[in-house]
Amino acid sequence: MPPTRVGPALLSWASQLEESTLAQARQTAAMPFIHPHVALMPDAHAGKGSAVGTVIPTRGAVMPAAVGVDIGCGMIAVRTGFTRADVDARIAATGIGLGALRRSVESAIPLSPGHYNRDTHGWKFTAARIAELEDLAAADGVDLTHSPKWREQLGSLGGGNHFIELCLDETDRVWLFLHSGSRGVGNRIAQHHIRVAQQACAQRHVRLPNRDLAYLTEGTAEFDRYLRELHWAQRFAYLNRAEMMDRFGAVFARWMGTPDHRETERTNCHHNYTRKEMHGGEEVWLTRKGAVDAHAGVRAVIPGSMGTHSYVVEGRGNADGLCSAPHGAGRRYSRTEAKRRFSQADLRARMTGIEYRDSAEFVDEIPDAYKEIGVVMDDARDLVVVVHELRQILNVKGT
């Protein structure tokens, strides 16, 4: 759908938009360094400081809370060489169902907040990723003493709406799919710089409509340090997803009784990050808070909610949309409200036909707590082209 102008420097692609979300977006769009405008994505909903689903171009400044505390959070999708028929044949031949595969995935990848790997030697591909991150930290002077267990965090999922899924596309090809970010180490980095930005604005007597819109100014030591540590955390998140995907692929191949998972394509993308881009004729710092890169021809992944379809997409390069697209379904109800409205029985009904861990702790992730992904994708039709539509047959979540 074409955008709606909802403020002097604010365009919206959201047909489902709460007043609280719009109010946050208007505050963000009124900051003095916005150029050319803020773009509100179809899945936008209220967040910390800035609404989730906001694309924010800034000149000479970055707002750490707008980037968010899960720096580099995003998606990875891998298409395998298998089909639904291969999976069904394997189950028929062995009598080993998807429940066994789910439990193997849960053993291979630590789930839930605070759960890390016991050591870093369990998988042959882990050492190279740790070495890359160590070298990057040393080269950029990134202090990681606040997170002595960051190496053990690599290859762990986390909780909330992070998940791992086995999916089928429109032709019944099998995909491996997961959502996660920079874990505890990224959160520590983000929280530190949010405080630094708030202190810097207070010292300069900057009047803010919301203290979580505090910013760091380009050309200062604080800004430079944040960008270096942000870059490191974004790389950690990217490699964290790759690490988990390689483990998932190995576990799936073992379950299928084959040497590997026959990977044919891979898309790994952030949806909470900042980088320099050209927009409105100028180079700006572009923050995608709950949004993906949708430059022309760029592949991205837009997940639905637990129990609904997800999408592999290709960007259209929409300039008004700041070459961005939504990052998912977007919440309709808070976790507390979802638990009040829905029950474990409701979740079971919504997950019919999908292998998952049946637990009341996931009620706040029920699809009904999220916006309709079909509506979100329809709103985004001028931003992306759908390449593949995926439906899950297995779901793994942390608490």
Catalytic (active-site) positions = 327
Q: Residue 112, by phi and psi: left (phi above 0), alpha (psi -120 to 50) or beta?
A: left
Look up residue 59 and give its two tokens. Answer: 């000149």
- Read off φ and ψ for residue 229, nearest 5 degrees: -75, -35
Cα dihedral 308, 77, 42, 66 in deg (nearest 10)? 120
Whether residue 53 contacts residue 326, with contact meaning beta carbons closer than 8 Å, is answered with yes
Q: Which runs of consecutive H residues, i.e. helices, occur in the chain?
A: 19-29, 64-67, 84-94, 98-108, 126-140, 150-153, 183-203, 221-256, 335-341, 344-350, 373-379
Q: Which residues pair with 12 in a beta bridge?
A: 4, 40
Residue 399 to residue 394: CA distance in whole angstroms: 16
The DSSP element (H or E) to which 354 belongs, if any, is none
Pairing verdict, β 10-12 and 38-45: parallel
Side-chain-facing half-sphere of 175: CA atoms under 13 Å: 29
Residue 91 to residue 128: CA distance in whole angstroms: 35
Cis peptide before 36 (omega within 30 of 0): yes
Residue 326 to residue 367: CA distance in whole angstroms: 17
Residue 175: partners with Cβ closer than 8 Å, 6 or more residues away: 77, 78, 79, 80, 166, 167, 168, 169, 388, 390
Whether residue 399 contacts residue 177, with contact meaning beta carbons closer than 8 Å, is answered with no
